[in-house]
A and B are shown apart, each in its own frame.
Chain A
């Protein structure tokens, strides 16, 4: 028994540190992925409101959650390759004398520039606000649309 452990110990000492380092390296990689948001596929610009951007062949779609914002309080301006979304969220004042238990909802103004991946047709922008969710549909400029190229033979 003693004989075996004497041989076993040095071997364990040599192999173990590298194994540990390897494992730590892999864990760090995974952590960094998670922090940079790649793990979940979510990124944040740090500007209100958070948006989701998607596209199809013809259009870009921007969606944002704006509960309690009236359509009249929104201002959307489109230029060559970007779009400015600004507005105000008003929290209605309640009668004086009410006692609060929770106050988590916030009001205020916001303004955000959204750069789009390609040129847009600023003439064809359509915005809709339904149930507190804003959807902006922006037509791509002709030059930005994908083209089907046929190969001659």
Chain B
């Protein structure tokens, strides 16, 4: 999509998560923006998670449910006083249901500049075999 190149970016409010369950930890939770696309061999997911370092990211896949959870380190600056704030920070959380079988052993995840790239290879299906019936 080369057409996006000259487009001016607009402010988009970070989407706060409607909490599915009562939280035991304080703080706001956001749903990251994602791109998901697939080819014949794999599903790729890109997620914007600024402030998340690899150690604080957890990716969980079980029963065809993929869960992304990213924790951010709070700004450690006790001397600073807030003048004004246009965005707030918090954890990221999002779940997806996958309809394809994923080859768990070949999952690959990378996070760079706050963008997660997750590659989920599909399980190679058994190749269809034609059965010929011999006449007795």
Name A residues whose Cβ lies closer than 8 Å to a Cβ of B.
41-57, 60-61, 63, 65-70, 88-91, 93-95, 97-110, 117, 129, 131-133
**Contact partner, A65, options B2, B5, B38, B87, Cβ 8 Å:** B87
B59-90 contact mask (Cβ, 8 Å, vs A): 1 or 0: 00000000000000001010111111111110
**Contact partner, B39, options A65, A97, A102, A107, Cβ 8 Å:** A97
Please count the residue pairs between chain A and chain B whose beta carbons lie under 8 angstroms apart in the complex. Answer: 153
Whether A47 touches B11, Cβ cut-off 8 Å, given contacts A68-B114, A104-B35, is: yes
B18 vs chain A, min Cβ distance (A): 17
Whether A67 touches B36, Cβ cut-off 8 Å, given contacts A42-B85, A52-B87, A131-B114, is: no
CB pair B11 A132 closer than 8 Å: no
20 A–B contacts, CB within 8 A, in A order: A43-B86, A48-B11, A52-B84, A53-B82, A54-B82, A54-B83, A55-B81, A63-B75, A65-B89, A88-B5, A99-B38, A102-B34, A104-B34, A104-B35, A106-B4, A108-B6, A109-B7, A131-B50, A131-B113, A133-B50
Given contacts A52-B84, A67-B115, A88-B5, 11 further A-B contacts (CB under 8 A): A66-B114, A68-B113, A90-B5, A100-B36, A101-B36, A104-B33, A109-B7, A131-B50, A131-B52, A132-B48, A133-B51
